[in-house]
């Protein structure tokens, strides 16, 4: 705490002080009578010494009001009351300078010569003739309280009602307030002393002192008082209640006035967190007013980690309390985060302007992502302003009177807010608002997916709070429901009004509840889950989420398909991958113990030496199966039990029952005898082709058609509306002895549809992710379509060059569906069109007769001839299929499925 520095100042030695004839110091353990006398002076404004204590001289002051206290080891020090006349003025002038020097480390300190003595008060700062006793007594009390716990307990015992300290807190002198605040801090900081009955009154007075100090820019006084105020809030629920009732507005004013002074902002932020995240809550209006302060606390350059942490917790509580009403706040938070990230990356790039600019595709893609992020941030900001104006209604016309005025004045919201035509608000519904949020999450994910600095930045800015909200809540559905209800109510009122006029029923075509659109919340959840999976590889993110039982339980339910909103296969994969990353991730680099480029045993058991890292672009098929567990423990079942230990015994029983009842052929008994037994002996990785996707390439969709036969026009009855994803629905059932993955990478025919990486860069990127995920630590079979076959060839060639021995030795088979081994005429077309189509770099490598493709094909043929690799290849002349549909079997009896299944079974038998 910053008060530690204050205490250093108060208790500093006199080593640097000027040499004087006498330097007394206060005793470490004060006499009770001296403490009592000091408290009497503070409370009454003076002291009557009608008779001196036995055996002591009163310094000639017997019987006079205001004579000071003999506390300096027998040295008399004069102290006059506020009501005393000037009679003692001459005596005071003669005695005061020679009696005591207040230790002050600013004296003779070269770096502090310009610091005013009023910054940290000394004894004599306020000691005018009529104001002597109380400043001196309060100073003494602060020194005693600093010296020992015994002194603090005596002060607490003698001032049990707290009135004396309260009098000092309310005194007009600055030094008295300063030292009184320090005494309060010391008493409250000492947990051995009981809580005083007047602590609520102390807190109110301290808050008033802070307010006055801020108005006069007295940072030192505001600092010590705010530290004492924070302790009063920490220790007393009664203080929290008083602050909630009367102190929220002064605290907000203090926060506004001291924006550049984090030593005052920190106690205010922490105190507000304690007040409004316990049993008490800010009202909606107060939450809106505070939002204009909380978000600058999150992003401000003067904010410390303490301030930022408190602000994020408060904002999280506000979103929890007010849900759909606070959608503008969560959107504004996301917009500011996106804007900060984009601005930071741009500044970082600008610093390297003297370096030669790279024109490679990856740089172009990154620049495009940054430009897109800036555009999306502006769109999201406009959506925030429009929704806020819509929710506030007429209040938006009152300017600064709006509780969101400070919030809407923040960048990047200020521009759209100034441009807002308040008399003609744009039409905006929950679907529009949700779409803006979706774009914001997608843009943020694309910018940060491969940038660890960016990932750390958004974690600092509270992205986990937003992701938790997007995943676990249904704010946009509720917002749409509210809109539908309001539309229905307005329509009903309109009909009644018109009916009353002309006697005819009215037909409303404006506020029709049926016109309310459904917001894309499922897509928001999916992309929020993707970003969470990326961030789950960060150790500090792991720490946050693993202690959040609600969040972990939600992720497990989503991965197991127990949540209606998580039926999407990608979503389920993200949830399981995030859990695995968090509960099984003790290898920072994700590689085996041998390390990259080093020797490897190449055996299938090497996977136990490191934890897999499931990064972006790697999806887990059938994430609910027991295959997906942490492999780092010797006892696999124990590791799985640890993963689900956060859940209740009933839920754990359900999970274990689902494991036992699955299609996995391994029983629990065999697991105990053989720790490797419940680990599938084979990994299968699906790799899509040009313009494909990790799921859609392998999905039998309703629109499937073929030029070869009308047979494929009849879709298998097992296929639903989205079509059957046959690797997950058929193969995982018919071949349960394998873990299955599907990969994603960006491919485009032309640069007009978005740049895609060249084949070698794509393969290098995927190779890193495959190895990090532990793929290659056991036998692997790749199932590919079209260009995916070339990608896998390049991956294996790169693995040889980079000496990823496990992946090389353990790749035992490849299935090629319509692979253009020597190039494709389709790839020739954009080049023939020249600058009109601007072919993407990937397409250029697929041109007919490409030397690179010939080299890769020769490499795979060499492995096959040596018996190191089995190959199954499907060409486009198969009956009832074409290039697009060759990897989409119409049923389990389709040769393109049955042959693949036989191929896998053969490989398993050979390599189990």
Question: Model confidence over 248-265: pLDDT tens digits?
Answer: 999 999 999 999 999 999
Could you tell me where in the chain the CATH 3.40.50 domains are found? 683-703+711-910
Task: Please report which confidence band the pLDDT of residue 904 belongs to, taking 50, 70 and 90 as the band edges.
Answer: very high
Whole-angstrom CA distances from 328 to 468, 470, 483 are 16, 13, 15
Task: Please report which confidence band the pLDDT of residue 510 belongs to, taking 50, 70 and 90 as the band edges.
Answer: very low
Q: What is the pLDDT of residues 193-225, one digit of tens each?
A: 888 889 999 999 999 999 999 999 999 999 999
Task: Please report which confidence band the pLDDT of residue 555 belongs to, taking 50, 70 and 90 as the band edges.
Answer: very high
Would you state the pLDDT for residue 877?
A: 75
Q: Is 751 left (phi over 0), alpha (psi -120 to 50) or beta?
A: alpha
Residue 870: strand, helix, or coil: strand
Average pLDDT estimate for 613-640: 70
Could you tell me where in the chain the CATH 1.25.10.10 domains are found? 126-323
Q: What is the pLDDT of residues 118-150, one digit of tens each?
A: 456 655 555 544 446 788 888 889 989 998 999
CA distance linking residue 686 with residue 632, whole number of Å: 25
Pairing of strands 618-620, 738-743: antiparallel
Q: What is the pLDDT of residues 323-356, one digit of tens each?
A: 999 999 999 999 999 999 999 998 887 776 544 4
Most confident of 528-542, 599-613, 866-880: 528-542
Q: Which helix (H) or strand (E) holds 438?
A: helix 430-448
For residue 748, pLDDT over 50 is answered with: yes
Would you state the pLDDT for residue 207?
A: 97
Would you state the pLDDT for residue 643?
A: 43
For CA atoms 572, 577, 580, 583, the dihedral sign is negative
- pLDDT, mean over the chain: 76
Q: What is the pLDDT of residues 5-27, one digit of tens each?
A: 333 333 333 333 333 233 335 66
Beta strands in 496-626 (DSSP E): 618-620
The pair of structure tokens assigned to 694 is 């990790």
Number of C-alpha atoms within 13 angstroms, CB side, residue 283? 8
For residue 109, pLDDT over 80 is answered with: no
Would you state the pLDDT for residue 470?
A: 96
Residue 839: strand, helix, or coil: strand
**Are 908 and 781 a contacting pair, CB within 8 Å?**
no
For residue 58, pLDDT over 50 is answered with: no
Would you state the pLDDT for residue 489?
A: 76
Average pLDDT estimate for 480-497: 75
Average pLDDT estimate for 144-165: 92
**Are 555 and 464 a contacting pair, CB within 8 Å?**
no
Task: Please report which confidence band the pLDDT of residue 38 belongs to, taking 50, 70 and 90 as the band edges.
Answer: confident
CA distance linking residue 520 with residue 679, whole number of Å: 38
Task: Please report which confidence band the pLDDT of residue 547 belongs to, taking 50, 70 and 90 as the band edges.
Answer: very high
Q: Which residues contact 494 (CB under 8 A, 6 or more apart)?
A: 506, 508, 510, 511
Would you state the pLDDT for residue 518?
A: 87
Higher pLDDT, 263 or 633: 263
Please give the CATH number for the structural domain made up of 126-323: 1.25.10.10
For residue 834, pLDDT over 70 is answered with: no
Average pLDDT estimate for 500-516: 51
Average pLDDT estimate for 869-878: 84
| Closest to 830 measured CA to CA, from 808, 847, 814 | 847
Q: What is the pLDDT of residues 262-297, one digit of tens each?
A: 999 999 999 999 999 989 999 999 999 999 999 999
Prediction pTM value? 0.80
Higher pLDDT, 878 or 141: 141
| Closest to 228 measured CA to CA, from 248, 250, 204 | 204
Q: Is 510 left (phi over 0), alpha (psi -120 to 50) or beta?
A: alpha
Would you state the pLDDT for residue 400?
A: 53
For residue 36, pLDDT over 70 is answered with: yes
SS (H, E, C) 646-686: CCCHHHHHHHHHHHHCCCCCCCHHHHHHCCCCCCCCEEEEE
| Closest to 185 measured CA to CA, from 3, 9, 38, 10 | 3
Return the residue matching tokens 């696999």.
636
Q: What is the pLDDT of residues 852-869, one digit of tens each?
A: 888 899 999 999 999 999
Average pLDDT estimate for 558-565: 87
Could you say which DSSP state residue 403 is in? T
Return the residue matching tokens 């029709």.
512
Residue 191: strand, helix, or coil: coil
- Our measurement of the distance from residue 717's CA atom to the centroid of its chain's CA atoms, rounded to an integer in Å, reads 45
Please give the CATH number for the structural domain made up of 683-703+711-910: 3.40.50
């Amino acid at each position: 705490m910053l008060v530690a520095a204050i205490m250093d100042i108060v208790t500093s030695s006199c080593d640097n002080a000027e040499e004087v004839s006498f330097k007394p110091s206060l005793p470490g353990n004060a006499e009770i009578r001296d403490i009592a006398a000091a408290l009497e002076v503070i409370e009454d404004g003076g002291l009557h010494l009608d008779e001196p204590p036995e055996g002591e001289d009163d310094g000639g002051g017997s019987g006079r009001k205001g004579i000071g206290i003999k506390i300096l080891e027998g040295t008399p020090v004069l102290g006059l009351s506020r009501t005393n006349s000037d009679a003692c003025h001459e005596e005071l002038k003669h005695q005061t300078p020679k009696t005591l020097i207040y230790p002050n480390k600013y004296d003779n300190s070269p770096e502090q010569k310009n610091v005013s003595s009023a910054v940290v008060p000394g004894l004599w700062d306020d000691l005018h003739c009529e104001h002597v006793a109380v400043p001196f007594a309060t100073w003494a009390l602060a020194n005693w309280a600093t010296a020992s716990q015994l002194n603090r307990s005596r002060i607490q015992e003698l001032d049990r009602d707290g009135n004396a300290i309260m009098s000092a807190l309310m005194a007009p002198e600055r030094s008295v307030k300063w030292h009184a605040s320090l005494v309060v801090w010391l008493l409250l900081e000492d947990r051995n002393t009981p809580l005083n009955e007047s602590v609520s009154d102390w807190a109110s007075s301290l808050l008033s002192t802070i307010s006055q100090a801020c108005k006069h820019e007295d940072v030192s006084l505001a600092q010590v008082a705010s530290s004492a105020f924070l302790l009063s809030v920490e220790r007393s629920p009664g203080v929290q209640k008083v602050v909630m009732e009367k102190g929220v507005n002064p605290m907000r004013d203090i926060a506004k006035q001291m924006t550049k002074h984090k030593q005052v902002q920190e106690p205010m932020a922490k105190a507000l967190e304690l007040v409004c995240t316990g049993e008490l809550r800010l009202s909606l209006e107060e939450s809106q007013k505070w939002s204009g302060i909380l978000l600058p606390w999150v992003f401000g350059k003067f904010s410390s980690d303490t301030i930022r942490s408190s602000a994020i917790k408060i904002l999280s509580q506000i979103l929890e309390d007010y849900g759909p009403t606070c959608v503008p706040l969560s959107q504004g938070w996301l917009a500011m985060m996106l804007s900060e990230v984009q601005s930071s990356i741009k500044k970082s790039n600008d610093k390297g302007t003297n370096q030669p600019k790279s024109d490679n595709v990856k740089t172009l893609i990154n620049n495009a992502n940054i430009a897109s992020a800036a555009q999306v941030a502006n769109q999201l900001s406009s959506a925030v302003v429009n929704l806020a104006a819509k929710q506030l209604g007429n209040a938006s016309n009152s300017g600064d009177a709006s509780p969101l005025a400070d919030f809407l004045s923040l960048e990047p919201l200020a521009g759209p807010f100034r441009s807002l035509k308040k008399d003609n608000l744009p039409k905006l519904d929950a679907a529009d608002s949700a779409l803006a949020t979706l774009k914001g999450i997608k843009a943020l994910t694309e910018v940060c997916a491969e940038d660890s600095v960016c990932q750390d930045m958004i974690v600092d800015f509270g992205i986990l709070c937003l992701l938790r909200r997007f995943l676990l809540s249904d704010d946009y559905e509720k917002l749409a429901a509210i809109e539908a209800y309001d539309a229905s109510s307005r329509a009903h009122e309109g009909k009644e009004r018109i009916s009353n006029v002309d006697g005819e029923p009215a037909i409303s075509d404006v506020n029709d509840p049926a016109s309310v659109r459904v917001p894309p919340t499922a897509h928001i959840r999916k992309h929020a889950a993707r970003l969470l999976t990326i961030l789950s590889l960060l150790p500090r993110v792991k720490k946050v989420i693993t202690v959040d039982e609600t969040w972990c339980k939600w992720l497990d339910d989503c991965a197991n398909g127990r949540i209606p909103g998580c039926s999407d296969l990608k979503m389920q994969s993200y949830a399981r991958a995030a859990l695995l990353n968090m509960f099984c991730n003790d290898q920072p680099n994700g590689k085996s113990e041998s390390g990259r480029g080093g020797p490897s045993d190449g055996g299938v058991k090497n996977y136990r030496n490191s934890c897999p890292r499931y990064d972006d672009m790697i999806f887990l098929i059938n994430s609910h199966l027991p295959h997906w567990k942490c492999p780092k423990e010797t006892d696999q079942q124990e590791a799985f039990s640890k993963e689900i230990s956060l859940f209740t015994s009933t839920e754990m029983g359900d999970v274990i029952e689902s494991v036992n009842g699955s299609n996995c052929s391994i029983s629990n008994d065999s697991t105990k005898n053989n720790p490797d037994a419940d680990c599938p002996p084979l990994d299968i990785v699906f790799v899509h082709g040009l313009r494909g996707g990790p799921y859609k390439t392998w999905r039998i969709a309703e629109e499937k058609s073929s030029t070869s036969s009308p047979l494929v026009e009849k879709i298998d009855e097992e296929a639903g509306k989205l079509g059957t994803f046959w690797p997950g629905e058929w193969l995982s059932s018919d071949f349960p002895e394998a873990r299955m993955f599907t990969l994603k990478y960006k491919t485009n025919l032309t640069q007009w549809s978005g740049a895609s990486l060249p084949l070698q860069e794509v393969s290098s990127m995927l190779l890193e992710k495959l190895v990090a995920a532990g793929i290659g630590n056991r036998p692997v079979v790749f199932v590919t379509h079209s260009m995916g076959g070339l990608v896998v060839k390049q991956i294996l060639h790169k693995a040889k060059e980079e000496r990823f021995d496990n992946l090389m030795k353990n790749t035992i088979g490849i299935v090629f569906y319509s692979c253009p081994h020597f190039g494709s005429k389709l790839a020739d077309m954009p080049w023939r069109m020249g600058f009109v189509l601007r072919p993407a770099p990937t397409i250029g490598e697929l041109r007919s007769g490409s030397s690179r493709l010939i080299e890769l094909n020769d490499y795979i043929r060499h492995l096959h001839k040596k018996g190191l690799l089995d190959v199954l290849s499907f060409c486009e002349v198969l009956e009832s299929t074409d290039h697009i549909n060759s990897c989409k079997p119409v049923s389990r009896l389709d040769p393109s499925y049955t042959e693949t299944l036989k191929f896998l079974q053969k490989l398993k038998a050979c390599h189990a």
